[in-house]
Amino acid sequence: MTKRLSQWQRTLGWSVGLVLAVGFQGSLGSLCWALSDSPATQAEAVYRKLPDFPLENQYVRADNNKQATESTLISRFIYYHTTVKGRSTLSRLDWKISLADYLGLNEFLQPETYPGENFLKSNPLQNDQARIRSLNRVQRDALVQALVDVYGGSRATGAASAPLPAASQARPTVPGDRTAQPSGLAPLAAPGSASLLDPSGGTSSQSS
């Protein structure tokens, strides 16, 4: 009886250990995924596409007085877009809406919820807003495109246009083929015809 109980305890202990190990690996995997998808990590990918975009990572942490180099303008913009506002990362329009917030054209940015307010010595909101407002339209469009590319939005939004169906493609015009012209319209004049100079389109009769 004692021997059977000991075997059962060993089996139970092994099973519990396996469950804990699998659970730990799953949690670790989720943590790794979260870190790889963090605003700071995604911002690095955007900066690789836009190497001249301002970093604005000169701010100092409140807890240790060290420079928070990972807190950049783009990482704070991503955090604002995804966490503060909860907007889609796959929608070009949503990114533009967040830009509109910074430009003062949509919603007002709130200092108490702005990224970095809770751990940086000074709130970067005003400076970040000024930086975004200083961008021209081409630079703002480039930022949106880089964000869409990094988050894979081109696949989700179907940016690539599908080829036209064969039936809708233009038919080559064959001389004498009236079926190529829309019904109810006069045939097109031949190249070089003097009727092309007629304001009426060559449809009026000429006087003899």
pLDDT digits (tens, 9 = 90+) for 145-182: 999 999 995 444 434 333 333 333 333 344 444 444 44
How far apart CA 167 and CA 169 sit, in angstroms, is 6
How far apart CA 10 and CA 93 sit, in angstroms, is 58
pLDDT, residue 71, reads 98
206: pLDDT strictly greater than 80: no
Greatest mean pLDDT range, 14-18, 28-32, 121-125, 157-161:
121-125
C-alpha torsion 34→39→40→45, nearest 10:
100
Give this prediction's pTM: 0.60
pLDDT digits (tens, 9 = 90+) for 12-23: 555 544 434 434
